[in-house]
Amino acid sequence: MFDQNQLPFDMVQLLDENGNGDEEALQQFSDEFLVTLYKWMRKARVIDERLLKMQRQGRIGTYAPFSGQEAAQIGSVLALEKEDWIFPSYREIAACLAHGLPLTQIFHYVRGHVLGGRTPEHLNIFPIQIIIGAQTLHATGCAWAAKLKGEKQVSVCYFGDGATSEGDFHEAMNFASVYQVPVIFFCQNNQYAISVPVHKQTASWTIAQKAIAYGMKGVLVDGNDALAVYKTMKEAVDSARNGEGPMLIEALTYRLGPHTTSDDPTKYRSAEEAEQWRRKKDPLHRLRVLLEKRGLWTEEKEEAWVAQANDEITAAYEEAVAAETGSIVDVFDYVYGKPSKLLQEQQQEAARRKQGKEVK
Catalytic site residues?
255, 259, 268
Would you say the C-alpha torsion 251, 254, 294, 37 has a positive or negative sign?
A: positive
Compute the distance between CA of residue 235 and CA of residue 189 in angstroms, rounded to an integer. 20
* Residue 119 per-residue DSSP state: P
Q: Is 48 left (phi over 0), alpha (psi -120 to 50) or beta?
A: alpha
Compute the distance between CA of residue 27 and CA of residue 32 in angstroms, rounded to an integer. 12
The pLDDT score that the predictor gives to residue 66 is 98
Map out the domains of the chain with their CATH numbers.
10-325 (3.40.50.970), 327-360 (no CATH)
Closest to 240 in 3D by CA, of 229, 232, 252: 232
Q: Residue 304: which residues within 8 A CB-CB, separation 6 or more?
A: none
pLDDT truncated to tens, each residue of the chain (360 aa)?
Answer: 556 666 667 899 999 999 999 988 999 999 999 999 999 999 999 999 999 999 999 999 999 999 999 999 999 999 999 999 999 999 999 999 999 999 999 999 999 998 898 899 899 999 999 999 999 999 999 999 999 999 999 999 999 999 999 999 999 999 999 999 999 999 999 999 999 999 999 999 999 999 999 999 999 999 999 999 999 999 999 999 999 999 999 999 999 999 999 999 999 999 999 999 999 999 999 999 999 999 999 999 999 999 999 999 999 999 999 998 788 898 898 888 899 999 999 999 999 998 876 655
The pLDDT score that the predictor gives to residue 2 is 54
The pLDDT score that the predictor gives to residue 343 is 94
Compute the distance between CA of residue 49 and CA of residue 40 in angstroms, rounded to an integer. 14
